[in-house]
Structure 1
Amino acid sequence: MARPKRQEARRAALIEATYAAGRTHGLRSLSLTDVAAQAGLSRGAILYYYEDLDALLVEAHGAGVERFCDARDATIAGIADPRDRLGAAIDAGLPSGPDDALMSLLYEFDVLAGNSALHDELVQTLYLRQRQTYTGIFAAGREAQVFTAGLPDEQLAMTFVALEDAYGLHIVGGNALMTVPTAAAAMRAVAQQLGCPTSST
């Protein structure tokens, strides 16, 4: 019973090493040697768990999508008021800053999607989960009669996913003119103008 647990832990550690090495070298120039050096292992040790670098990247991509979406959904799950839930969703959907390794890698994975059907599927999965989170919030706010948006919930959700991704890309790209507070404030202002306040107070 201990062996599968050790293998699971080693795979998780390799995924973390992939995030760190990818942040340093960029996914397009990343090699198994880079990941091995980051993990303190040999290339052969990594190949024991993964067929090649592509297999490791696909698993890292999938794990990143789940981590981002699950963490945000867990954050907003215990918030009753849709207005507060929307504010929390906006905050949780933006990178923590330019050094947010996971978010930086998720944006880079978007580039790989054009070369891999698996990556393309994961990019679509992330988008659908982002949209689902916002759609649920807008629907709840409309039902509670605290949101008065003229746009359908699906279009609202698409708009906020687009804002989230656009601002997030500037943040992890190191654009000094786009900070996390600036992006969050802009999204909250858009929500307010569309009839969806982000705070119950």
Structure 2
Amino acid sequence: MARRKNQDERRAHLIQAVIDTTAETGLRSLSLADVARKAGLTRGAVLYYYDDLDALLSEAYRAGMERFCDRRDTLQDTIENPSRLLGETIRAGLPTGPDDALMRLLYEFDVLAESSPLHTKLVESMYERQLATYRTVLERGAGAGAFNLILDTPTAALNLVALEDAYGLHIVAGNGQISVQRAVEAMFDAARAFGAPAA
């Protein structure tokens, strides 16, 4: 059991090294040697845990899926009020700020999606999960009579995902033009405009 725990901790440490290194160097120039240095390990030690850089990147992306998809979906089990659920779903899908290294990594995957089958697959998977999350929340609100949607559910979800991605990109760009709070308010306004009040 202790060995398994140590391996899990080492894998988590390596994933964090990928996230931190990407924030410093960018995903395009990331190498296994960079990750090993950041983690304080040899390249061979990294390869003991992961077959190659793509395997490491897939696991790092999975960490993003857990944070921005899995955790958001669990909100549906704990929040009954549809407006509050939509509000918390919106908040949880945005970066914490310009220094949100995990979100920066996810956006870099978006940029490189056309140049790599792996990146394309991961980005498409995340996008489908985002859409599914918003569709479920909107359908729940409409079914409860809390939302009076003037758009069909797929279109409303599509708009929220587009806004989430666009505002998130501006936030991690760190240009100061859009704060996290301003992005939340803007998404709330958009949701209200098509009949889904967020709180």
Residue 57 of structure 2 aligns to a residue whose secondary structure is helix
Does the 8 A contact of 2:54 with 2:118 survive in 1? no
In structure 2, distance between residues paired with 1:104 and 1:196: 29
Give the TM-score, by structure 1 length.
Answer: 0.93
Residue 196 of structure 2 aligns to a residue whose secondary structure is coil
Residue 63 of structure 1, CA deviation: 2.7
Query: Which has the larger displacement, 96-105 or 24-33?
Result: 24-33
State the number of aligned residues.
199
Please list the CA deviations of residues 140-162 of structure 1 after superposition, one character each: whole Å capped at 9, or x if unmatched: 11111111111111110011000
Query: Which has the larger displacement, 97-106 or 74-83?
Result: 74-83
Task: Give the aligned residue type for 1:151.
Answer: L
Residue 28 of structure 1 aligns to a residue whose secondary structure is coil
Alignment of 1:27-106 (within 5 A): 27-106=27-106
Alignment of 1:145-184 (within 5 A): 145-184=145-184
Task: Give the aligned residue type for 2:196.
Answer: C
Match of 2:110 in 1: 110
In structure 1, distance between residues paired with 2:32 and 2:99: 22
In structure 2, distance between residues paired with 1:145 and 1:74: 22
Does the 8 A contact of 1:65 with 1:106 survive in 2? no
Does the 8 A contact of 1:97 with 1:171 survive in 2? yes
Please list the CA deviations of residues 120-142 of structure 1 after superposition, one character each: whole Å capped at 9, or x if unmatched: 22211111111111111111111
Residue 89 of structure 1, CA deviation: 0.7
In structure 2, distance between residues paired with 1:191 and 1:63: 28
Task: Give the aligned residue type for 2:107.
Answer: Y
In structure 2, distance between residues paired with 1:145 and 1:171: 34
Match of 1:22 in 2: 22
Residue 29 of structure 1 aligns to a residue whose secondary structure is coil
Residue ranges of structure 2 left out of the alignment (5+ in a row)? none
In structure 2, distance between residues paired with 1:20 and 1:100: 10
Does the 8 A contact of 1:23 with 1:105 survive in 2? yes
In structure 1, distance between residues paired with 2:88 and 2:196: 13
Residue 170 of structure 1 aligns to a residue whose secondary structure is helix
Alignment RMSD: 1.5
In structure 1, distance between residues paired with 2:166 and 2:194: 19
Does the 8 A contact of 1:76 with 1:88 survive in 2? no
Residue ranges of structure 1 left out of the alignment (5+ in a row)? none
Task: Give the aligned residue type for 1:9.
Answer: E
Residue 27 of structure 1 aligns to a residue whose secondary structure is coil
In structure 1, distance between residues paired with 2:46 and 2:194: 50
Task: Give the aligned residue type for 1:77.
Answer: D
Query: Which has the larger displacement, 39-48 or 82-91?
Result: 39-48
Residue 59 of structure 1, CA deviation: 2.0
Q: Percent identity?
A: 55
Give the TM-score, by structure 2 length.
Answer: 0.93
Match of 2:13 in 1: 13
